[in-house]
Amino acid sequence: MHPQTNARSATSTSSRRRSRRLSAHLGSAVAIAATALAVAGTGAAAAPGNGTALDEAEYHDPGTYALDVTDYSQAIDAIAGQPDVDQVSFDELIASRSGETTSCGETCRTWPEHLSSDDRWYPQGLAGSEESNWSEAPDAEVLVSAWYQRTSPEEHAAVDSALKFVSTDDWRYRNVPLRLPVQTDDGWTTEPLASHNGGVAWAGPYLYVAATDRIHRFDLRTTMSDDEGYFLVPDSTYVGIDQDPYGEPRLSAISTDWTGQPALVSAEYSADENATTEVVRWPLSASGELAAESGVVGSQDNFWVDKDSSVDKVQGVGAHEGLYLFSGSAGTLDTARVGSQTDRGTLTWGRTGDDTDIPQDLYLSESNVYGQTEERTDRYLFWESRDDVLP
């Protein structure tokens, strides 16, 4: 059962809340419609007063939440050894980029029309190489946009998924399907990975992809190709364990935070704006691996998002030096600290004019805060200077 009663009462908007406006640099005629993607100010969600937006959970000892680890290393070795499969270096993968994105301003890129208008493939998670701390990452910054395919335009269940690697030096991308290892009587094979891909985090050589009740880990040193092209297979899957007092973790969005105790940070999405939702820190080793003991990863710490705050319908999460960022479906970006109103703010985020384009996951690079939107025909990668977003 998830906690619903801990939220503090709402208070009137106080001087501790700061309204901030980010500078817009979208100068071209094409970019005028997208200007508000990079403009932040006091939005609709900022109107209600807020208590402390992020609270310490009643139970928050290490291990309050847990993940069970499934190791697929044997499957990786078997699949890579098949005669029609070749192993590919990550540098080779990045060098092969051929897909084109288009500028929609100085801080905005849009996908090609066939991706922007597709009614079954939707972008969700977002990560980048500058959060990885990986010594072998490319010199040019690389973004990773995670997509999933719906059963039908009306049915949101996932039937397939893929990652798009975008290099910021020329904004070209490479699509890489995700496959799940399957053991048969004849050995290991693969099938499309049916994953919602709500969040992505990059730590060391590993990409962690959130799938609501589990996280799939992909080792970028084990990229493969066959007659159908490049593909990735998870080397591990971390499945939420149902345990008292709060049950299974809900893994909607994730990011990497190397400040303080290194961690993957996960946040829960809820369609109910009156629900208290969860933020969990999962311990990371210096090499980017989730720290497991006897096949189980226990949480490092966990918090509650106040149900009476403006932080609603969380689609993306980021963290740095105790400051947490949350992007929401309504076109907001909230900043908050645990148990404090210091640096509390609500910005507009992922909007075109007065309409939200439904912003998704976040990525904090060394210089920017990146987001992306999922709305059909309005699918953008966009960013603003970190200095203009973080207090």
CATH number of the domain to which 194 belongs: 2.130.10
Q: Answer whether residue 290 is part of any domain.
A: yes
Tell me what percent of the chain is helix, strand and coil, each rounded to the nearest 5.
10, 45, 45
Chain centre distance of CA 213: 15
Q: Answer whether residue 17 is part of any domain.
A: no
The DSSP string of 27-76 is -STGGGGGGGGG-----GGGSS--S-SEEE-SS-STTSSEEEEEE-HHHH
Nearest to 130 by CA among 328, 383, 379: 383
Q: Answer whether residue 4 is part of any domain.
A: no
- What is the domain extent for residue 378? 30-389
320, 326 contact by CB (below 8 A): no
Q: Answer whether residue 192 is part of any domain.
A: yes
Q: Answer whether residue 134 is part of any domain.
A: yes
Q: Answer whether residue 251 is part of any domain.
A: yes
Q: What single letter denotes the amino acid at residue 61?
A: D
Q: Answer whether residue 22 is part of any domain.
A: no
Tell me the C-alpha distance between 350 and 373, whole Å: 6
Q: Answer whether residue 209 is part of any domain.
A: yes
Count: domains in the chain: 1
Q: Mind listing the pLDDT tens digit of every residue in the chain (391 residues)?
A: 333 333 333 333 332 333 333 433 333 322 323 444 543 433 323 323 346 799 999 999 999 999 999 999 999 999 999 999 999 999 999 999 999 999 999 999 999 999 999 999 999 999 999 999 999 999 999 999 999 999 999 999 999 999 999 999 999 999 999 999 999 988 999 999 999 999 999 999 999 999 999 999 999 999 999 999 999 999 999 999 999 999 999 999 999 999 999 999 999 999 998 889 999 999 999 999 999 999 999 999 999 999 889 899 999 999 999 999 999 999 999 999 999 999 999 999 998 888 899 999 999 999 999 999 999 999 999 999 999 999 8
Tell me the C-alpha distance between 246 and 34, whole Å: 41
